[in-house]
Structure 1
Amino acid sequence: MQREEKHKFKKISDEIIRAIQTGKYLPGEKIPSENEIISQYNVSNTTARKVLLAIELNGLARRIKGKGTFVLNRTEDRHLVRTLGSIADTRIGFNEKLKAEGFEPKNIILEKTILNDGISSEINGKHYIIQGPVLKVHQLRYANDLIMKDETKYISLTLCPKINLLPPEASHYKAYETKYQLGKLHIIQTMGADIFKPDDERNNFGTAAIIPVFVLDSAIFTLQEKVVELERSYYRGDKYRFAINAQEY
């Protein structure tokens, strides 16, 4: 029996490590939990625990207490990979995603104000409007000591009262689902590209040279077409790669 468990341990470990190395599990994504390994492979909790520990000791993942075990970012150039159109990716939140990948996140708020007249944005040819009052949050998002994202969000205070009291590291999307019970939400996103010169008034990245940027426009809305959030963010083009989540219906 002990020999069989040892064989299973190696088989499961090799399988999950291969899945990480081939990109089935991307940096910041969860690998199977202890309970999932026990259920899927019919092994003891001791074997499942050893599997997760072995993967962590290999430097491929890290365990975050109460959250799970996440794939670390070990790409040579430390690019961050993000998935467009992924509810799961959005739900995790920027800070939690970075921590899961082994980075130290930090936020600096440039502006936090309430717009009583509301806000509107055109995304993918459609006009989205949030009636006032609207919370505007403009912040710089860091990974370690590098600015990775310049983010401006507009959030409906009618649908999400007092969300301005939420700490900056919290996931807004999770709050929409849990605290405000807004039900199933939809996301529409468009991605463009631009070049920022050092003296460009939009350039908050503090670079001395021209850098490429990804420009993300997004809207989050309810099944009743009520807009919860609008976002316009700039991502450092030399530090990010984006994947597309294609779903078949």
Structure 2
Amino acid sequence: MTNNIYWTLYKDYADQIETGALQPGSKLPSENELAATYQITRETVRKGLNLLAQNGYIHKVKGKGSFVLDTGRMNFPVTGLVSYKELAKRLGRKSRTLVYATERVPAGESIAKELHTRPDQLVWKVIRAREIEGERIILDIDYLLADVVSGLTKEITGDSIYEYLEHTLHLKISYSKKIISVERATAMDQAYMDIGNDTHVVVVRGYVHLEDTTLFQYTESRHRLDKFQFVDFARRESNHELGDQ
């Protein structure tokens, strides 16, 4: 029974936050108060609060309590390699992927530079919009080396490329470098995203490597300004680790 109550606590507060019953900045009851209300231990309360924090509903401040975050913006992780399918599952919102292109083409000069390859090298060009709760708010443009990735189809790109790479092709995706910038919206953004009168979008460029260090994917993930915040967590090293700089 106790194992399920932390989920009940999570759902209760997630629902209140999503419906606006709890506004951004509101403070949740203390752990002791929640433990008394739900008749559970503080350890079980912490499980529920941690789940709320992990899913972007609250921010826990040591010594001060838990505070409601603005859920109008969805947390998009900067670090880590997470597929959109995995992210959508975490967000718990109604979403779908719209595939506009899955084609094998020569890389061309600009993409060849990004992938450190030849302009005549064949690559998969994949263009997909991510629709969340009826609005197309992300445009993903991916280029993958065709001699590394074989057999892509519209069905695969509409589901999860990474799932296909790892489970079918048995490739080991290892690490990536990401560059984030705010840029003027392009004609493609206007056509494939619901950006209204916005003139700019957030662009996350990613360079993804396999375990053997092969750079096999270059991606541009383009985001509507009002819907996403980019989140990272950092730990300051101790003075001796920093060399007392």
Q: Please, what TM-score do these two structures have when normalized by structure 2?
A: 0.64
Corresponding residue for 2:197?
Answer: 209
Q: Which runs of 5+ in 1 are unaligned?
A: 29-73
Corresponding residue for 1:155?
Answer: 144
RMSD of Structure 2 on Structure 1 (CA): 3.4
1:75 is displaced (CA, Å) by 5.0
Corresponding residue for 1:85?
Answer: 79
Cα distance in structure 1, aligned partners of 2:233 and 2:158: 25
Cα distance in structure 2, aligned partners of 1:233 and 1:210: 17
1:231 is displaced (CA, Å) by 0.3
Corresponding residue for 1:11?
Answer: 42
Amino acid at match of 2:76: R
**CA 1:212–1:116 in structure 2 vs 1: closer, same or farther (change >3 Å)?**
closer
1:34-59 C-alpha deviation (Å, 9 max, x unpaired): xxxxxxxxxxxxxxxxxxxxxxxxxx
Which secondary structure state, in structure 2, belongs to the residue aligned with residue 120 of structure 1? helix
More helix by share: 2
Cα distance in structure 1, aligned partners of 2:213 and 2:44: 45
Corresponding residue for 1:107?
Answer: 97
Cα distance in structure 2, aligned partners of 1:235 and 1:229: 19
Which secondary structure state, in structure 1, belongs to the residue aligned with residue 159 of structure 2? coil
Quick one: which of 99, 123, 131 aligns to 1:134?
123
**CA 1:107–1:121 in structure 2 vs 1: closer, same or farther (change >3 Å)?**
farther
Q: How many residues align?
A: 189
Amino acid at match of 2:97: N
Corresponding residue for 2:112?
Answer: 120
Cα distance in structure 2, aligned partners of 1:111 and 1:169: 10
Cα distance in structure 2, aligned partners of 1:76 and 1:183: 36
Which secondary structure state, in structure 2, belongs to the residue aligned with residue 167 of structure 1? helix
Which secondary structure state, in structure 1, belongs to the residue aligned with residue 153 of structure 2? helix
Corresponding residue for 1:237?
Answer: 225
> Which shifted more, 127-136 or 214-223?
127-136
Which secondary structure state, in structure 2, belongs to the residue aligned with residue 108 of structure 1? strand
1:111 is displaced (CA, Å) by 2.0
| Match runs of 1:63-78 below 5 Å | 76-78=70-72
Cα distance in structure 2, aligned partners of 1:208 and 1:187: 32
Which secondary structure state, in structure 1, belongs to the residue aligned with residue 164 of structure 2? helix
Q: Please, what TM-score do these two structures have when normalized by structure 1?
A: 0.63
Cα distance in structure 2, aligned partners of 1:208 and 1:170: 27
1:113 is displaced (CA, Å) by 1.3
> Which shifted more, 172-181 or 105-114?
172-181
Quick one: which of 23, 26, 29 aligns to 2:55?
26
Cα distance in structure 2, aligned partners of 1:133 and 1:164: 15
Residue pair 1:211, 1:236 contacting (<8 A) in 2 also: no
Residue pair 1:211, 1:237 contacting (<8 A) in 2 also: no
